[in-house]
Structure 1
């Protein structure tokens, strides 16, 4: 029997972050996961926007971002034409690299046990976890961060309710130019021309020396389109997105095409003494909406920075304590916003009602106007600085400005 304050079940992104944060705070914790090195998996492959600030609140941002690739600028395109070029703070990273990078920040004082949790018993004071190897852990609090695994939850009466089956499907693969060293763009987001293609968008972004593609679609997994895509991905993409090849030039898909469907679900019966669910263990988000890491960073940040230190400072671990986390305003707002964004993007992409068609065109025109304004401002800025540049470089050979 091992004794600790916090036992974390699941060593994906949420569980590894919790172990690193608690260990750095000097809180006794044990991490349980069957994988000594987290294996490749098609999940989050880039971090940006508000996620960067949430990551900084965990104290793990600096070494984590060093393992990423910053794109710096993203081109947005539709109908085969660039409608906007704008600065970007997207950091590309494969999910297994992200998890293993976070794991490397777990202090030595946090014990990691490479096993499966096979049983759990919870109460107001201490919790007991049974491991696949026969060992047991006694903890004041159990953090369930085991993602889509439902085994342990059933043992304590926690149930999952699917609210949108196969809400979206992500295809992940690498692409490379043919006959050229690189693509023209640093990163690209390509929006569909027609709603009947049942796609949200194609996004291309650098990870290391490769150009990674995430292709987000709304289809049933039995759709023969997926077999067609596996057999001829380049032709299938160009047929769906007329003008794509004009944008990318000749290209080919390199390596395997991984496909991941995503259900939206919520958890019921989760308010239990001594156990708290975080990340996908509590509820899922839509990968197409890009809010998965937003939910994880919010959950783990609030739990480890605010609630666990307060809970451990007093006796007991009853359900009233646990409810404080689930009722946290920041967590609740994040859950509602992520779910709303998932439904909104799906409707905006494939709904053929007049209102949604109007919204699609309004978004396209707004992006076009924004991109045009940004290009004009950049051109004016270039012109305003050109005389100073010329004066400062007298006698030096002049080079043509790239288009």
Structure 2
């Protein structure tokens, strides 16, 4: 029997972040995961936006993560083969396994890591008994369930998954390689769909190291023959769906494995129980199209580890009323609601044929075009001044 205050079940992004935060705070914790080193997995490949980077910073892990990631600096925005804007960017490309393993490297040695899988939990208002696949038994005051999409353990606790939107979106990941030139002309680019009928919200191109990574998002059923065609002939299928993309990229081909991952939107019922708390995708999923998955994980874990666990450990017991405070946290609830609304709105604005959503698409196009024009006008004096002609920018 191993005794601890906190047992963290699952060592993905949420679980590893929780282990690092609790260990740094001096909280006794054990992390349980089947993998000593997190394996390659097609999930998050990019962090981005001021709000998301701020949420990462609140975990205390921002510096370590961003040192490993690739900052693109500028992200081109385009549609219909037209470059709309070149705004400064806070996008950082990093493969999911590198992200998780970077965070795991920040977990202090005081946090024990057990290579195994939790197969059962017996809960109470005092201590939780967790049995692992390797025969170990952990007694913890609180079990943090951060095992993502694995529902088996939650089912043993009477927690049921409710599908809100089956196959809400599908993500496709691959490397894009320039043909006839050493590199692409852009640092990064987000290219929005040309036709709602193609059921594509956008493709995002961004660097990870020296690679140009592509994440293409699609609203189709996973058994749609379109996916088989994409695997067979990715360049031709992509060009058919986004025919004017090459005006900006030039000729391209793909490299490496093409990864395809469908995403269901689901919530759980029956999760308000003594002794356990769900975080990240174990609590509820979001749509990868919106890029809010990391926002939810960092918000969940930061609020739990910085606000609630220290207060819970200061008093006896770990009853349901205590745990409920985390789920009712206004910061967490606001992030969950925002992420959920964005998932549904993004799908509608991308593929809905109604007059309102068509108007929304044109409004967004006009907004980006206007921003780009204002940016070019603001930059024009600097580009045409004698000083700029005789003293090039160091990056030129």
TM-score normalized with structure 2 length: 0.98
Does residue 1:209 correspond to 2:210, yes or no?
yes
Is 1:329 aligned with 2:330? yes
CA distance change for structure 1 residues 249 and 28 in 2, over 3 Å: closer, same or farther? same
Unmatched 5+ residue regions in structure 2? none
Q: Provide the secondary structure at the position in 2 that maps to 1:83.
A: strand
**Which residue is 2:82 aligned to?**
81
1:382 positional shift = 2.8
Please say if residues 164 and 267 of structure 2, whose CA atoms lie closer than 8 Å, have aligned partners that are also in contact: yes
Quote the residue 1:40 is aligned against.
Answer: 40
Other structure's SS at 2:75 match: strand
* Aligned residue pairs, count: 395
1:58 aligned partner: 59
Give the Å deviation of 1:379.
1.1
Cα gap change, 1:201/1:389 in structure 2, threshold over 3 Å: closer, same or farther?
closer
Task: Summarize the alignment of residues 9-158 of structure 1 with structure 2, pairs less than 5 Å apart.
Answer: 9-49=9-49, 50-158=51-159
| Superposed structure 1 runs of 4+ greater than 3 Å apart | 387-390, 397-403
Q: Does 2:317 correspond to 1:316?
A: yes
Q: For 1:307, what is the secondary structure of its paired residue? A: helix
Q: Which runs of 5+ in 1 are unaligned?
A: 391-396
2:221 corresponds in structure 1 to: 220
Aligned to 1:394: none
The answer for the alignment partner of 1:231 in structure 2 is: 232
Match of 2:386 in 1: 387
Aligned-partner SS, 1:86: coil
- CA shift, 1:179, in A, is 1.9
Higher mean alpha-carbon deviation, 43-52 vs 166-175, is at: 43-52
SS at match of 1:73: coil
Contact 2:382–2:388 (CA under 8 A) maintained in structure 1: no
Indicate if the aligned counterparts of 2:194 and 2:242 stay in contact, CA closer than 8 A. Answer: yes
Do residues 295 (structure 1) and 300 (structure 2) align? Answer: no
Residue 380 of structure 1, CA deviation: 2.2
Secondary structure of 1:236's match? helix
Give the superposed CA RMSD. Answer: 1.6
Equivalent in the alignment of 1:281:
282
| Counterpart secondary structure, 1:308 | helix
Equivalent-residue separation in structure 1 for 2:288 and 2:394 (angstroms): 39
CA distance in 2, matches of 1:262, 1:298: 21
Over 3 Å counting, the alpha-carbon distance change for 1:165 and 1:94 in structure 2 is same
In structure 2, the CA distance between the partners of 1:66 and 1:299, relative to structure 1 (3 Å rule), is same
| Offset of residue 398 of structure 1 | 7.6
Shift of 1:323: 0.3
Q: TM-score, normalised by structure 1?
A: 0.96
Mean CA deviation greater in 39-48 or 373-382: 373-382
